[in-house]
Amino acid sequence: MSGLGCVSTVAAAAHATAGALQPMPSTLNPHAGATAKDAEPLEELAGEYCARAFFSRNWQLREAALTYLAQQVKDGQVRA
């Protein structure tokens, strides 16, 4: 799974808050230390962008990543 759907979901959510610009793919911080190790399974499942959004400090990006993953499970594309 490439995680491309997560990119559009997270990008839409990132711009949804009062017109303020939020982090986009190129500005999401790479994982560091223990977080990188924790993110590996999620990266394999949904892609690097979705994993970065999931571990972001920005709550809108985390929420969008969770929404994307929940939809993937609901659609049967990911087994919970």
What is the residue-wise DSSP string for 2-35?
--HHHHHHHHHHHT-STT-----GGGSPPP-HHH
Among 56, 54, 59, which residue's Cα sits nearest to residue 43?
54
Spell out the domain ranges in the chain.
Answer: 4-16+30-74
Q: Which amino acid is located at 21 in the chain?
A: L
pTM comes to 0.63
20 pLDDT band (50/70/90 cuts)?
very low
What is residue 35's predicted lDDT score, i.e. its pLDDT?
78
Contact of 1 with 46, CB cutoff 8 Å = yes
Q: Which amino acid is located at 30 in the chain?
A: P
What is residue 18's predicted lDDT score, i.e. its pLDDT?
36
